[in-house]
Structure 1
Amino acid sequence: MHQSIKIIITLLISATIFASERNSLKDVPPFNFTKAEFVNASTTRIPFKVIDQLIVVEVDILNEVGDFILDTGSETLILNSAHFKPTRQYGIEGQQKSGVNDHIEDVKEKYLNLLSINDINLKKLNADVIDLSHIERTKKIKLLGIIGYSVLKDFEIFIDMHLNQLTLTKIDNEGNKVSDKVYAETIMDSIDFTLKKHTIILEAYVGEKAVKFGLDTAAEYNQLNETLDSEILNYFYPNKELKLTGASGNKKKVLAGKLYSVKLSDSIYFGPMKTVLANLRKMNAAFGAHLDGVLGFEFFLQKRTIINYKKKKLYFFANPIVSP
């Protein structure tokens, strides 16, 4: 029997701004993580919930309280048009934005003149307004939007799946933390990445074969390009067929299973990860990058990871020892 996933595998939305002329909203309420805990003046710690292998935080914005998906694959802050209306239409009617499985239509832009993450302010932030109602229905949450690169790039982001906790700490232009008193634990390892537009690209290995993976917090399963040679695909063990719903609601069938023998270095390696075999042609075309796959929720489930966009580095903490 075919199994069905009524959700997007990954958002990976390319949010290029088309308009050169923008209208500002007046008296924009602050963008607040409603359950945030302050560590210091430049650091906030935010609990999150996991819904169908997506990281979801509760936010208060523009007089609405609801959920946002954390998505490093999205270039911008995205607002759900089911809850927010753009101040005016930007660009050309019907202008498309690319998603990993298909295209997203009718993207409009909203301009926020101030975004305040509690006491940490970001000015002149753009938000795209996209219909996310199909995701909202399938997730059964009040989905206000998606938090992407344009918000995250000015912070060091610690994603801790063991505590279901997100830590954001402000960084300077060189990527140094404004405050050193942020983490109680010691970083165990790190690795460099490259940045293609807003996409994190990791040099990795499957077995002994070199591959390039994109890293995306909104990828519910890892994805492996179905066009890869057999030496790599030999490490993928399919066990079922799934129906995936793309970013604009279109469905397609893919093989799902587990991917073995993935490592970033001799000291950074992974156990078997849930993975789907997919055609990544549209995604590669959208981002101008040739990726062999995407690492997502399964990556963060195994590695307590810090992302620093300015330094272009990932850092890793050891997993906590859990008493039996």
Structure 2
Amino acid sequence: MQLFATEVNPTEESPPIIFSKAEFINAFTTRIPFKVIDQLIVVEVEILDKQGNFIIDTGSETLILNSAHFKPTRKYKQEGRNKSGVHKDIENVKEKYLDLLSIKDINLKKINADVIDLSHIEKIKKIKVLGIIGYSILKDFEVFIDMHLNQITLTKIDKNGDRLSDKVYAETMHDSINFTLKKHTIILDASIDNHKVKFGLDTGAEYNQLNKNIDSEILDYFYPNKKLKLTDASGTTMQVMAGKLFKVKLNDSIYFGPMKTVLTNLRKMNIAFSTNLDGILGFEFFAQQRTIINYKKQKLYFIKFPIIAP
């Protein structure tokens, strides 16, 4: 997949952004292989003369560039503004303006990228992180996250969420559910042993998160076994209790086995995004469900894992 980016008032033409190893299915659809690094979905990218990795993160509102590798455009609207992270405000966020982002023949114009220091992620993960691809890019596509084949399929959709090509998936969708969109956050109605809960869905969450202030009857289904240190996008590190969460269901036919989960405080995120979430479903969700996200229709579709003979 080739993307082309130019700054506003550039001094010279910028080179293309290239998603390495992408496979073009048709004029509206491309498949991008990804690596799983510490339960993060990572794609290889070449952008503005640099080569490295981008994290696919539906929990991020924007396209983010790592300030360790990119400088903001000289003229930006709000110097030193703050953005809200899950646990703490991210300070001194600047912007970089991209005139055009093109996925082969699919053009996304006037793209803004936040420029944030992500060097702490590089240090922890021991990889070069050029940035994060978030909602502002993904919302214009139907996004199939396939943990069976380790690939993401992006297909362009119209304003109603209908695919511009009907020749996209070889597989058959077996179920679907509606979600609500609060700003950029996907919110799912779910249950834990018949107790109703609301979860946010976030591909950038290495572990599921459960609000430690949740009803004690629900906490009975969280089995702690160790302590972990978590670091969020602001670089804030905290110690949390980790374990497994049992008996999570989206409906009578979509349910999950025990999922690695951490107990944390989601108050900051709930205030920032005006939500009232009981938890976050992340990598563990996608590891158990081959999932298609359609932001325009506000629906998730599911494709079965193949049955492998013993």
TM-score by structure 1 length? 0.91
Structure number having the greater strand percentage: 2
Question: Which of 294, 298, 302 is equivalent to 1:312?
Answer: 298
1:166 aligns with 2:157: no
Report the equivalent of 1:208: 194
1:39 aligns with 2:25: yes
| Per-residue deviation, residues 27-48 of structure 1 (Å, max 9, x unmatched) | 3433321110011110000100
Question: What is the CA–CA distance in structure 2 between the aligned matches of 1:162 and 1:196, rounded to whole Å?
Answer: 29
Q: CA deviation at 1:246?
A: 2.5
Report the equivalent of 2:4: none
* Partner SS, residue 92 of structure 2: coil
1:78 aligns with 2:77: no
Considering Cα pairs closer than 8 Å and 6+ residues apart, tell me whether 1 or 2 has the greater RCO. Answer: 1
Report the equivalent of 2:119: 133
1:234 aligns with 2:216: no
Report the equivalent of 2:87: 101
Report the equivalent of 1:52: 38
Q: CA deviation at 1:248?
A: 2.2
Question: What is the CA–CA distance in structure 2 between the aligned matches of 1:115 and 1:60, rounded to whole Å?
Answer: 13
State how many pairs are aligned: 303
Question: Which of 98, 104, 111 is equivalent to 1:112?
Answer: 98
Q: CA deviation at 1:88?
A: 2.0
| Per-residue deviation, residues 140-183 of structure 1 (Å, max 9, x unmatched) | 11110000001000000000001101100000000000000000
1:292 aligns with 2:278: yes
1:214–1:291 CA contact under 8 A, matched in 2:
yes
1:55–1:217 CA contact under 8 A, matched in 2:
yes
Q: CA deviation at 1:220?
A: 0.3
Question: Which of 117, 132, 144 is equivalent to 1:146?
Answer: 132
1:54–1:220 CA contact under 8 A, matched in 2:
yes
Structure 2: give runs of 5+ residues left out of the alignment: 1-6
Question: Which of 150, 158, 162 is equivalent to 1:176?
Answer: 162
* Partner SS, residue 81 of structure 2: coil
Q: CA deviation at 1:101?
A: 1.8
Q: Which stretches of structure 1, 4 residues or more, deviate above 4 A after TM superposition?
A: 22-26
1:201–1:213 CA contact under 8 A, matched in 2:
yes
2:80–2:94 CA contact under 8 A, matched in 1:
no
Task: Calculate percent identity across the aligned residue pairs.
Answer: 74
1:281 aligns with 2:267: yes
Question: What is the CA–CA distance in structure 1 between the aligned matches of 2:236 and 2:81, rounded to whole Å?
Answer: 18
| Per-residue deviation, residues 95-131 of structure 1 (Å, max 9, x unmatched) | 2111112221110000000112233221111101001
Question: What is the CA–CA distance in structure 2 between the aligned matches of 1:302 and 1:261, rounded to whole Å?
Answer: 14
Q: CA deviation at 1:94?
A: 3.4
Structure 1: give runs of 5+ residues left out of the alignment: 1-21
Question: What is the CA–CA distance in structure 2 between the aligned matches of 1:162 and 1:24, rounded to whole Å?
Answer: 43
Report the equivalent of 2:177: 191
Q: CA deviation at 1:60?
A: 1.6
1:223–1:278 CA contact under 8 A, matched in 2:
yes
2:57–2:132 CA contact under 8 A, matched in 1:
yes
Report the equivalent of 1:303: 289
